[in-house]
């Protein structure tokens, strides 16, 4: 009789005692029960370790690692190395998994043996945070071109097949301290197909102390260089090699928040996106329809923010196909909500 857990939940904790009870209980109270819960205390200096020990004393599914601080990528790799399950589920110490999350994901993975990574939608919450849903497309062909600009999963929502991340080269790169998941998706998309369950199965907490917020505010230059290295992987496959100006343009349009804060040249952006489209037509890296969807939406958002700064930009875009495609795609999204 096999007594090994089918799922290994891996969670790194660093000074999260304020939210840790909710996070741990949301896993222990899952409707799916056949899992181990690997928790790495990454050198916390608050009461996090005591909180974890309290739950470990009550539930033997918890496996605790406690040591000095080594960072999130190192901790996740350590947890992966210890995992006994056929599947590995990510969890963050300040988020909340909804009760049926693991059940839904296990069912999805069993029903879709070609999918190596499965994510879910997530509800954004937190003090002073407006309600929103983080949604990524469902199908692999839709997710692949998203990686030209950003991630295609809500990181703490994912479930992996353990078999695809057992090699050392297939794990988190510890140099990518603020983009470890993005860099990993680009490596793994060469090995397996991706998918998302179009349901909210995670509550994703946003705080001013989150890694992304910290990196954006105090170490934005490092974030730019790390993300640029990731962007460049797919661009090189398209035989596109950007200079510094183009790299910064790509970095800005990758994020709606950066578009809000930075001016872009709409004519230059149109030319750049046409270059990507033409390069893809030559080698067929992405499905043309899905690439056009991504680029047209990015272009439309860029026009929106530029028009808020100077409405005269609209006189320029009336001759650009990408603008009309972006407008059409946003209207379609709005009326199918």
Claim to verify: residue 61 and residue 162 sit in the same structural domain: yes
* Within a domain: 184: yes
Global pTM reads 0.92
CATH of the domain at 13: 3.90.550.10
Q: Calculate helix-pair angle for 220-237, 211-218, nearest 10 degrees.
A: 100
Q: What is the pLDDT of residue 218?
A: 53
The verdict on 265 and 316 lying in the same domain is yes
Residues 242 and 290 in one domain: yes
Assigned domain for 232 exists: no
Does residue 194 share a domain with residue 244? no
40 and 170 assigned to the same domain:
yes
Residue 231 domain-assigned (yes or no): no
Query: pLDDT at position 215, please?
Result: 45
CA torsion, ordered 246, 248, 250, 254, to nearest 10 deg? -170
| Statement to judge: residues 203 and 266 lie in one domain | no
| Residue where one domain finishes, among candidates 192, 211, 230 | 211
**Residues 122 and 256 placed together within one structural domain of the fold:** no
Q: Let me know whether 204 and 273 are in one domain.
A: no
| pLDDT value of residue 211 | 45
CA atoms within 13 A on the CB side of 189: 24
12 domain-assigned: yes
Residues 68, 121 within the same domain: yes
pLDDT at 225: 93
The low-confidence residues of the chain, meaning pLDDT below 70, are: 1-2, 208-218, 334-337
* Residues 6 or more apart whose Cβ sits within 8 Å of residue 101: 30, 89, 120, 157, 201, 202
Using the 3D structure, point to which of 160, 195, 211 is the last residue of a domain: 211
Helices (H) and strands (E) in the chain, counts: 14, 9
Domain that holds residue 291: 238-335
Structurally, the chain folds into a number of domains equal to 2
* pLDDT tens string 280-299: 999 999 999 999 999 999 99
269 part of a folded domain: yes
Name the residue with tokens 């199908």.
Answer: 139
Residue 175 sits in the same domain as residue 293: no
Q: Are residues 250 and 196 in the same domain?
A: no
Separation between Cα atoms, residue 279 and residue 7, nearest integer Å: 41
Residues 275 and 200 in one domain: no
């Amino acid at each position: 009789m096999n007594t090994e857990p089918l799922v290994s939940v891996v969670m790194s904790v660093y000074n999260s005692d304020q939210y840790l009870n909710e996070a741990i209980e949301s896993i222990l109270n899952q409707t799916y029960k056949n899992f181990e819960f690997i928790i790495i205390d990454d050198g916390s200096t608050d009461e996090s370790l005591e909180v974890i020990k309290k739950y470990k004393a009550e539930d033997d599914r918890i496996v605790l690692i406690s040591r000095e601080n080594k960072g999130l990528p190192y901790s996740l790799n350590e947890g992966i190395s210890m995992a006994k399950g056929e599947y590995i589920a990510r969890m963050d110490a300040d988020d909340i998994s909804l009760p049926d999350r693991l059940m839904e994901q296990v069912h999805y993975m069993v029903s879709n043996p070609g999918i190596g990574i499965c994510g879910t939608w997530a509800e954004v919450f937190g003090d002073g945070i407006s309600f929103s849903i983080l949604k990524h497309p469902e199908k692999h062909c839709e997710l692949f071109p998203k990686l030209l600009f950003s991630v295609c999963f809500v990181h703490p929502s994912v479930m992996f097949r353990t078999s695809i991340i057992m090699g050392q080269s297939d794990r988190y790169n510890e140099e990518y301290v603020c983009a470890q998941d993005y860099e990993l998706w680009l490596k793994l998309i060469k090995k397996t197909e991706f998918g998302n369950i179009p349901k909210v199965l995670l509550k994703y907490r946003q705080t001013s102390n989150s890694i992304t917020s910290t990196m954006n505010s105090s170490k934005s230059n490092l974030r730019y260089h790390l993300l640029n290295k990731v962007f460049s992987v797919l661009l090189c496959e398209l035989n596109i090699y950007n200079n510094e100006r183009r790299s910064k343009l790509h970095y800005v349009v990758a994020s709606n928040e950066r578009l809000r804060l930075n001016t872009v040249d709409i004519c230059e952006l149109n030319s750049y996106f046409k270059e990507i489209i033409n390069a893809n037509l030559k080698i067929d890296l992405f499905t043309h329809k899905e690439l056009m969807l991504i680029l047209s939406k990015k272009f439309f958002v860029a026009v929106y923010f530029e028009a808020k700064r100077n409405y005269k930009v609209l006189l320029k875009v009336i001759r650009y196909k990408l603008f009309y495609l972006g407008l059409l795609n946003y209207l379609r999204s709005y009326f199918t909500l």
